[in-house]
Amino acid sequence: MPHKLVWLCLLAGLSGCTVGPDYREPAPTVPSDWLAGKDPALKPIDPETLKNWWKSFGDVRLDRLMDRALADNLDLKMAMARIEQARAERRATRAELFPRVDATVGAQRNDNPLPGLAPGIRYNLFELGFDALWEIDLFGRQQRRLEAASADLDAARAEYGQALITMTADLARSYIEYRSLQNQLRITRANLAAQQNTQHLTEMQFREGVGTRHDSVRARAQTESTSAQIPVLKSGIIAALRQLEVLIGRQPGTLAADLGEPTGVPIAPGQELLASPADTIRHRPDLRIAERQLAAATALQGAAIAELFPKVSLSAFLGLRNTDIEGLFKSAAFSYSTAANLLQPLLNFGRVQAGIDLAKAQQQEAYLAFEKTVLEALRETETALTHYLNEEIRRQTLARSVADQRESVRLSQLRYQEGVISFLDVLDSQRALFIAEIELARSEAQASTNLIAVYKALGGGADAVTPVSLRNP
């Protein structure tokens, strides 16, 4: 009879149903085209370009920094550790589907411990063997938890892709900021040198009685104002350098020599930027994370519903039992036993229903979070495209302005030497040139930074590297 009960329960478990809602991946609603995509200069981006987008800047040192960061960045290593955690959680959850077998060694003394009562049977019991326990997943409670753990593992993998996107964008932005500040420092020093020459000229003219004291003081004030910008720029350069060192996993002070002499701000051609909204949704890991979290919440909702139904478990013992330890290893001590148990919740004061309501609310929250993530992805991409296109127009305009300001300075110096204008006009033209050059340097950096934001919004860099451990189930 016990054997028939075991097989009956086993067949029932194999043919059991999985309760709760079955997950269906939502299809996000996205527009067919970007609002910023009406610009004729934008074309669909090549997936390979998106994969290693920083190479489009054509900066060897940036490429070298990125390779080091991909290998040693601590955020990426932390993301890999979270994948290992999720993988271990899934293995532990999967193990719950199978029987548990333990080796057991025990000794019992049975007696009546309370005085004044009728004496009971006194005996010892020694045992050595194996205990087995198997809770049959008749209604899919453990299966749903396994589905949730699998979804959590997928989400952890997607988080690694998101960490790649964030790290590559942060590194490129910090590098551009570093080069931009170096460029601004070069411009400031060049203007300072010119202003110092002008100051020296005005002071000499004042001493000779040709110029005025007002011209001399004004020239000195402009020189001092420009000189005051240099410490600020130096501090910014050091801060950007320290940030780069953190991103590549290095101690402070180990990177300056590798970056070499100051160079211009790297500028990438941005004509091929525009992926369709559907392509953006497909490439962005944050949407994959939100979708997998929704899948996990849906599976846990089913696990909560399964708590309403009976739990069936099988147990067995195989080994040696005897009341005398000396006879424990004799053939007569061989023993086995089997048992089946059914546990049906009856009175729990709403605990199970509360768990179901909680899981349902969490699933609803996960769905709304997914919808919000879709909207945020669309907003981020539209905003990044708009900022990039407008900053590119501004950069080109500033480039023409700098050329005109340089010509204005040249002409004003000639007119001053001819006595047509005052020295104040020369100082004004020099100050306007300095402001225009600094604004152009900042705009060049901003245009490249906005281009990075576009690549980031399109999911660029998420597939830059795929470690072997990431592909393991």
Please state, in angstroms and rounded to a whole number, the distance separating the CA atoms of residues 290 and 294. 6
Contact status, residue 42 vs residue 273, Cβ threshold 8 Å: yes
More confident residue, 454 or 15: 454
pLDDT at 11 over 50: no
Residue tagged 């919808």 (tokens): 371
Residue 148: per-residue pLDDT = 94
Mean pLDDT within 173-185: 94
**Summary mean pLDDT of the chain:** 85
Would you tell me how many other CB atoms lie within 10 Å of the CB of residue 409?
Answer: 19
pLDDT tens, residue by residue, 104-163: 888 877 776 655 555 566 777 788 888 888 888 888 889 999 999 999 999 999 999 999
Q: Which of 8-12, 102-106, 142-146, 370-374 has the lowest mean pLDDT?
A: 8-12
Residue 13: per-residue pLDDT = 47
Mean pLDDT within 162-177: 95
pLDDT at 6 over 60: no
Assign 179 a pLDDT band (cuts: 50, 70, 90). very high
Please state, in angstroms and rounded to a whole number, the distance separating the CA atoms of residues 116 and 355. 48
Residue 38: per-residue pLDDT = 65
Mean pLDDT within 41-54: 77
Percent of the chain surpassing pLDDT 90: 41
Contact status, residue 134 vs residue 314, Cβ threshold 8 Å: yes
Assign 416 a pLDDT band (cuts: 50, 70, 90). confident
pLDDT at 48 over 80: no
Contact status, residue 424 vs residue 215, Cβ threshold 8 Å: yes
Please state, in angstroms and rounded to a whole number, the distance separating the CA atoms of residues 375 and 203. 63
Question: Residue 43 burial (CB < 10 Å; 0-12/13-18/19+)?
Answer: exposed
pLDDT at 387 over 80: yes
How many Å separate Cα 246 from the centre of its chain? 16
pLDDT tens, residue by residue, 271-326: 666 777 877 778 899 999 999 999 999 999 999 999 888 888 888 988 887 777 76
Please state, in angstroms and rounded to a whole number, the distance separating the CA atoms of residues 140 and 311. 10
Residue 8: per-residue pLDDT = 44
Domains assigned to the chain: 36-100+150-310+351-471 (1.20.1600.10)
Mean pLDDT within 218-244: 91
Look at the chain and count its residues: 473
Q: What angle do CA 93, 96, 100 make, to 5 degrees?
A: 145
Highest mean pLDDT among 7-21, 210-224, 326-340, 400-414: 400-414
- The one-letter amino acid code at 354 reads A
Please state, in angstroms and rounded to a whole number, the distance separating the CA atoms of residues 142 and 135. 10
How far lies 211's CA from each of 179, 192, 198, 425, in Å? 40, 21, 12, 14
The pair of structure tokens assigned to 384 is 């990044």
Edge-to-edge strands, sheet with 100-110: 100-110, 123-136, 311-322, 334-343
More confident residue, 231 or 473: 231
Assign 18 a pLDDT band (cuts: 50, 70, 90). confident
- Closest Cα to residue 3, out of 313, 316, 310, 312? 316
Mean pLDDT within 379-408: 91
pTM: 0.83
Mean pLDDT within 41-50: 72
Q: Which of 174-178, 189-193, 293-297 has the lowest mean pLDDT?
A: 189-193
Assign 14 a pLDDT band (cuts: 50, 70, 90). very low
The pair of structure tokens assigned to 212 is 């005025």
